[in-house]
Structure 1
């Protein structure tokens, strides 16, 4: 993958997770501790290194809370911080990084650095304020131990083989780590009633007339409002969507097929979830697949392919983020 693309995708993913974590405590600025929380749940080698050292999202959140309380006590302030609430990032706005977090992300993609999550973690454990070193101490490890473990994981990583392609179909794939057991994640992604919780084009599903079994078909409706309450504008032919459960192999695979019954030229899209147990949770591979248009439409489609790839990547990003967020 191109370094620039990798760095951009990593920054986007870490920014979302960090600002979601900041939103739990009513903060609008994501700082170094929120970046650490985001790295704990990344699917990249940085997340695996932290989780294999026994650091999960709950223990990391507790360490951050205890560190903040210690800092207040050092200032002579005896007070307990308010309990964190649910993630409200998607219902609010005005989020940003602190300058030191922005500078750190920039350094991770600078000259000689890959810009991936591993590069971000290396910069984070070496930052000079001592905050991350103190947090890691609370979590039973040290910056040196984290770096050593990350080196070992990166050295053991082999170049992944290309994803198999299906003739006449285009595919895009993304990986997401979820802080929950495989069975719980599978129950979520295989339940038709939960489809609106991860598929952004669907606001509600009528599940009263069909059982949740393979080959069952449901009708979904486009959402009328965004998570922040703003109304959405949807073309009439895209307001209804047919939802079919194609495969349900518990607990490792669920496949959904989506069509627009009122839009004759819209290609059906298949969304596949492949689940595997991982240290601290579940590794989820999400694949979007759609038919390539035949004839002259395919020629036109070639010119629009970069735009289509970006749109599909954004959809994968939204789906993966929604599944991860459900269990945090």
Structure 2
């Protein structure tokens, strides 16, 4: 992956996870502490090092909440964080970045730096506000010790989204939940809407399942879509408990439309599970005869947009699986 591509991937991934964590605190701005929480569940070297040092998401969340309370107490304000705070993203909508949090990303991608999550963690360890240092101290770790572990982990390489064909993409993420819990989520047809955000409901239908396409976004905005793509037929093509499941979705009222295939592989990892999602569009019969002559040219012109769309779709799926299990 090019450096620009790495910076974009890092920014997108951290934005999703940090926005989700910020929403638990009803914060509409991503700050340093939310970036730290996002790094704890990072699939790459940064997250692996933090988890190897015993830093888990629940403990990190508690440390952030404790630091917030102490900061308010120092101002003479007594306050308690909600005991059962839930992730309210995407219902709450995307968050803005604070200046100091945005600077972490900017500095991590500056000259001579890789722009990946490891570079962001290195910048966070020396962030001048002391926010990260205070949280890490509560967790029993000094920033310098984590920096040393990062130096020792140079051989670890973050997993990357891999292109598996023109209409498919694969992405791996760390999920702070057991293999069995992930399996229960991704293998149940009734729970598909919890992580396949294209679906609003699923019900049994003729030996398989029928799904209803989402027409309203979680934030209440109407979604544009064709009436022929409201109904979906869903098949579970493969299920190997508790490590693999493949779903296929098609639009019975649009027989020429492409079908969706979503495969999920689950492996045990320190502190949770490694989840790999393979997303693909399976070609249908294609356009009607008059449009077939220009279809190859149209596909060629649209190829960069399709690649980006596939990457967004597969990373959104892995993020949604993680979000559903750490909400």
Task: Compute the TM-score of the two structures, normalised by the length of structure 2.
Answer: 0.90
CA separation of 1:183 and 1:49: change in aligned 2, threshold 3 A:
same
Report the Cα distance in structure 2 between the residues aligned to 1:315 and 1:158, rounded to whole angstroms.
20
Q: Distance in 2 between matches of 1:139 and 1:158?
A: 24
Q: 1:134 to 1:207 in 2, by over 3 A?
A: same
Residue among 239, 246, 251 paired with 2:230: 239
Q: CA deviation at 1:89?
A: 2.2
What displacement does 1:150 show? 1.9
Deviation (angstroms), 1:207: 2.4
**Alignment counterpart, residue 319 of structure 1, candidates 313, 317, 320:** 317
- Find out whether 1:271 has 2:262 as its counterpart: yes
| 1:146-176 Cα shifts (integer Å, max 9, x gaps) | 112222223243998x96957xx74211111
Mean CA deviation greater in 88-97 or 295-304:
295-304
Which range moves more in the overlay, 29-38 or 201-210? 201-210
CA shift, 1:86, in A, is 1.0
Q: Paired residue for 1:180?
A: 177
Secondary structure of the 1:157 match is coil
The C-alpha deviation readout for 1:108-165, integer Å capped at 9, x for no partner, is 11111111100100000011222211211111111122112222223243998x9695
User: What residue number does 2:9 align with?
Assistant: 9
Relative to structure 1, the CA distance from residue 159 to residue 287 in structure 2 (aligned partners, 3 Å threshold; closer, same or farther) is: closer
* Superposed displacement of residue 94, structure 1: 6.5
Tell me, yes or no, if structure 1 residue 223 matches structure 2 residue 214. Answer: yes
Question: Structure 1 67/159 Cα, relative in aligned 2: closer, same or farther at 3 Å?
Answer: closer
**Unaligned stretches of 5+ in structure 2?**
287-291
For 1:233-260, what per-residue CA distance to the aligned partner results, in whole angstroms no more than 9, with x for missing partners?
A: 3201211111110110011111111111
CA contact (8 A) 1:292 1:298 kept: no
Return the offset for 1:9: 1.4
Q: Do the aligned partners of residues 84 and 158 (structure 1) sit closer, same or farther apart at CA in structure 2, a change above 3 Å counting? A: closer
CA distance in 2, matches of 1:37, 1:105: 15
Find the aligned partners of 1:72 and 1:97 in 2 and give their Cα distance: 21
Question: Which residues of 2 match residues 1-328 of structure 1 at below 5 A?
Answer: 1-83=1-83, 85-93=85-93, 95-157=95-157, 170-207=167-204, 210=207, 217-291=208-282, 297-328=295-326
Distance 1:71 1:287, change over 3 A: same
CA separation of 1:314/1:225 partners in 2, compared to 1, >3 Å: closer, same or farther?
Answer: same
Tell which deviates more after alignment, 143-152 or 56-65: 143-152
Seen in structure 2, the aligned counterparts of structure 1 residues 158 and 308 have a Cα distance that, compared at 3 Å, is closer
Partner of 2:289 in structure 1? none
Relative distance call for 1:92 and 1:157 in structure 2 (3 A) is closer
Shift of residue 4 of structure 1?
0.8
Contact map agreement 1:25 1:84 (CA 8 A) in 2 = no
1:189-222 CA-to-partner distances (Å, cap 9, x unmatched) read 0111111122222211112764xxxxxx211111
CA deviation after TM superposition for structure 1 residue 42, in Å: 1.4
1:87 alignment partner, SS class: coil
